[in-house]
Amino acid sequence: MSDETTSAPDRPAFRADLLAGKRILVTGGGTGLGAEMALRFARLGAAIAIVGRRAEVLEATARSIREATGARVDCEACDVRDPSSVERTIDTLWGDAAVDVLVNNAAATFTARTERLSPRAFDAVIAPTLNGTIWCTLAAGRRWIDSGRRGVVLSILSPTTITGRAFTVPSAIAKSGVLAMTRSLAVEWGPKGVRLVAIAPGHFPTPGVTRQMFSPGRGPSAPPGARNPLGRTGKPGELADLACFLVSDEAGYINGEMIAIDGGEHYRTSGAEDMLGWSDAHWDALRAR
């Protein structure tokens, strides 16, 4: 997480108090894009709560954000796959101060030939990505509705909800399920003051997510950005800025929508075509990782 990945200080995209007075909960907020979004929210005046499974990582990220912004940053260890863990964590956070925005960022995925996947492998992706998002959304939604508070749920999805994607089928299924939840609850909860929106990011390199996860050895994969109409990958700050707008009051008439931010790549490719010609050796190398 660094200032280089966010909007340049001398060219801010938004006014400095855009999110002042809001408390934003980010799942999977200890690393990667979750941490980048949390930092950007804090820079725009929000109080932050980040949750994840690794307490030491959360504490380090929380400390870093506090030092960079002076914002209030709370962190709680939570396994989003477990509804009881989610309820305990939300109770703890809400007991301190109400949450105004939930960002469903926690997810899991890996690349594999679908016919070789075991039920346990499917569950390793479905449990955090779909089920965990459902548990967090319901926990926050119940509290907003019961207390008469307004709220916003932002879910981080994928262009696979538009194109599908070979070799990451459990993730495509899970993300598509979250999109269906977003659209459905936008109608059900909108009259109660709760908005649901989503972002479908393309390839955004971060220290924790690299192309090497998907391209082992010297497989036939193209360099990142090679197939993108803009000829590049995304910058984490670009995603963070879009997230800031969508959870702000300025986006108050956007409900039930998913916005793709991938340079238009999903109109050209799902990103998996280069793996159709992989040999068993390439798949073995990936599995060994």
In a domain, 9, yes or no: no
In a domain, 3, yes or no: no
In a domain, 140, yes or no: yes
Residue 117 confidence class, pLDDT cut points 50, 70, 90: very high
Q: How many domains does the chain have?
A: 1
pLDDT tens for 236-280 read: 999 999 999 999 999 999 999 999 999 998 888 777 777 787 888
Question: First vs last Cα of the chain: how many Å apart?
Answer: 25
Task: Tell whether the torsion through CA atoms of 8, 156, 161 and 203 is positive or negative.
Answer: positive
Please answer whether residues 31 and 45 qualify as being in contact, where contact means their C-beta atoms are separated by less than 8 angstroms. Answer: no
pLDDT tens for 23-49 read: 999 999 999 999 999 999 999 999 999
In a domain, 35, yes or no: yes
Please answer whether residues 76 and 52 qualify as being in contact, where contact means their C-beta atoms are separated by less than 8 angstroms. Answer: no
In a domain, 6, yes or no: no
Q: Which structural domain, as residue segments, surrounds residue 163? A: 14-288
The pLDDT, as a whole number, for residue 207 is: 66
Q: Which residue has the higher pLDDT, 39 or 12?
A: 39
Please say if the pLDDT value at position 11 is more than 70: no
In a domain, 100, yes or no: yes
In a domain, 4, yes or no: no
In a domain, 2, yes or no: no
Q: What is the CATH number of the domain that holds 52?
A: 3.40.50.720
Residue 114 confidence class, pLDDT cut points 50, 70, 90: very high
